[in-house]
Amino acid sequence: MDMEEKPKYGEPKKFDPDFKGPIQNRGCTDIVCCIFFIVAIVGYVAVGILAWTHGDPRKVIYPTDSMGLYCGQGKLEKQPLLFYFNMMKCASPMVLLEFQCPTPQVCVEKCPDRTMTLVTAVGKTQDWEYYKSYCRADPGTKSVPQILQEKLCPAYLISSKPFLQRCFPSLGKKGEVITVGDQETFNDGDKIRDAKDLVAGMKNATIVMEGRQVAMKIFEDYTKSWYWILICLLIAVVVSLIFIVLLRYLAGIMVWVMIVMVIAVFAYGIVHCSIKYVNLKDTPGANITLQQLGFQPDFSVYLHIRQTWLAFIIILAILEVIIIIVLIFLRNRIRIAVELMKEASRAVGYVMSSLFYPIFTFFLLTIVIAYWGVTAVFLSTSSEPVYKVFNETVCPHARETCIPENFTLSNMKRDCPRSECLFAFYGGETPYHKYLIFLQFYNVFLFFWCANFVTALGQMTLAGAFASYYWAPNKPNDMPAFPLCASLGRSLRYHTGSLAFGSLILAIVQIIRVLLEYIDHKLKGAENKFAKFLLCCLKCCFWCLEKFIKFMNRNAYIMVAIYGKNFCRSARDAFFLLMRNVIRVVVLDKVTDFILFLGKLLIVGLVGIFAFFFFSGHTDAFKGAAPSLHYYWVPILTVLVGSYLIAHGFFSVYAMCVDTLFLCFLEDLERNDGSPERPYLMSENLLNVLKKKNQAN
């Protein structure tokens, strides 16, 4: 007799009269991974302590003089500004490689406000006292040639202004001629030079700080608008809460209202952009292309270009058409999705504390992100100052490493009398500094692992609480007194290893994606088309793999929360269950995700429109209240991102509830048949939509 063929995706669930929700008698799962995770965390703490011991964040905040001392700190507290002896030396291309000008630099109390040379200053007592405040050391009674040879003082001073804690010459213009002060020339102590000779040095000295300048303007915008940003985010919280409450009592109506409002918001966006596009038709300069304009940090510049509004119209129109087409084809499935949403609303109503659980997850994620950020800063600033030989003439020891204390008596100084041992950059040759890159890699990897663990803990906790609702025969009498706390306790006590296992798999894929992005960044200037194509394919594959693993992990955590099995077995059971109901998964589960996404989109759209009209100053009603900003897109983008995260936090509870109830719903259809002995546990409305019913006793 032939053996019975085994089902391709496992046996369907059998009826169990004793099963009433998450199993209470369970054991610890994936213990080896739990131990491995604890050891990794201990190592992470050790890396943090090591970084905090060696690191010094002042290296990225304060300018550094030629001896590696911080301006404005310690004994130089009253000298917060950096002064360059010879700004024209900064024109060297090496500045862009070593981020340090090959000229002596000292910390000063204020920038010079006079233009004079060392030769003229020495002859006048008052000028000499002023001049000496810009010297590296008191020259005493040394002669001018000796002072210049030992580089104790600059050959000249130029009237300067502070910029990013550094003194830069006060250049101006007379017509097309560049001037310093009111003069077109200046004396550098050796000969008369044109003021324009300073430009190249200033450009190289500032190119490494241009990003910091933009960052400072953005920071200034935040200081002016932070309270308005908080008000907008508070509005997002209130709107999200209103949506959640309305979903609790009016789930069916709210789903259709959300769909209609999202379509209306996109339609309004298309109309608004079309009006702007038409109004700019005859405006001078409005027909320039975005490619011709290039990158501009001031976002408002793009709003005066017709092509910008045309791009907005096309994007919004495409999204509008996609949403309408999806709704037309899935209109019947939306009815089942609405019933699932109603069931989820009832579950959230019985476990109201679940709405506040994202705050706990957000708190843990904040700790993880803060620890990673602080450790990364301390690791990146834990190198030692490196000094190199700088010389004005040809020197065999140029750019070699040197020690300032011993340099005067060294062979380098003897071979190159006019050379100087100056601070170049931060580095180090100790074993700690050699393996610094591996510590940074470990920091990033543990960040991904811990962040995924925190997210997984939230998913398993919510899954356990909502599963206890679904499988309770008599709701809420058969539910635990505190379902959320009970589920959190089970997750931490029994399944830390399973959470760590799933998080580890996801972290490995994410770190590979980071490495691929790093390689892609390094190959940007490469001409090898095949390498670029291969890298693009790898990035696409690992992006898809990450999405699949996130989906499988989420369902595996639900099964772990219900049955208490290890991660691999739970992932297999979840996969087989979903494959046995693949049509329902593809259509029904994704429709509910789409509806929840529309809800997030609607909240972000409403708050974003308000933020745009407020911060841009395009509305007369807000012109008096809106702060004056460098880039008004900074608070708008912050509000958009913040609103999405807030909406995502609230709707993630619903999403997890829907996913949990969906798996329970699929198992309910397999375990039970509607007979008095095996009644369905789903709601009557859901039974009616599925055209099923429970038979009377």
With 0-12 / 13-18 / 19 or more C-beta atoms within 10 angstroms meaning exposed / middle / buried, residue 88 is: middle
The candidate with the shortest Cα–Cα distance to 156, out of 177, 175, 176, 183, is: 183
Cβ density class 555-582: b for 16+ within 10 Å, e for less? bbbbbbbbebbbbeebbbbbbbbbebbe
Model confidence band, residue 524 (pLDDT cutoffs 50, 70, 90): low
Least confident of 286-300, 402-416, 519-533, 576-590: 286-300
* Sequence letter at residue 212: R
Share of the chain above pLDDT 90, in %: 12
Domain boundaries, the chain: 31-51+214-377+435-690, 61-190, 385-427
Nearest-5° angle of CA 79, CA 205, CA 137? Answer: 35
d(CA 287, CA 506): 47
Cβ density class 492-527: b for 16+ within 10 Å, e for less? eebbbbbbbbbbbbbbebbbebeebeeebeeeeeee
Question: Which of 221-225, 471-475, 607-611 is most confident?
Answer: 607-611
For helices 357-380 and 31-54, angle between their N-to-C axes, nearest 10 degrees: 50
SS3 state of residue 419: coil
Q: What is the DSSP letter of 87?
A: G
d(CA 16, CA 495): 24
The label of the residue with tokens 């009832």 reads 346
Omega prior to 22 cis, within 30 of 0 = no
Check pLDDT > 60 for residue 164: yes
The average pLDDT across 61-72 equals 76
Question: Which of 291-295, 357-361, 413-417 is most confident?
Answer: 357-361
| Residue 418 phi, psi dihedral angles, 5° rounding | -95, 10
pLDDT of residue 42: 95
> Of residues 605 and 570, which shows the higher confidence score?
570
Check pLDDT > 90 for residue 354: no
Check pLDDT > 80 for residue 615: no
Check pLDDT > 50 for residue 227: yes
Residue 103: partners with Cβ closer than 8 Å, 6 or more residues away: 84, 85, 86, 87, 89, 90, 390
Encode pLDDT of 76-113 as tens digits.
888 888 888 877 666 554 443 344 566 778 888 888 88
d(CA 137, CA 165): 21
d(CA 482, CA 468): 10
pLDDT of residue 390: 66
Check pLDDT > 80 for residue 485: yes
Question: Do β-strands 116-117 and 401-402 pair in parallel, antiparallel, or remain unpaired?
Answer: unpaired
Biggest distance spanned by C-alpha atoms of the chain:
118
> Of residues 358 and 7, which shows the higher confidence score?
358
Least confident of 315-319, 354-358, 519-523: 519-523
Check pLDDT > 80 for residue 57: no
> What rounded mean pLDDT belongs to the chain?
77
216 CB neighbour count, 10 Å cutoff: 13
Model confidence band, residue 3 (pLDDT cutoffs 50, 70, 90): very low
Residues 400 and 471: beta-carbon distance below 8 Å: no
Output the CA torsion 488→491→492→493 (10° steps): 110
Check pLDDT > 80 for residue 300: no
d(CA 342, CA 18): 27
d(CA 571, CA 558): 9
pTM above 0.75, yes or no: no
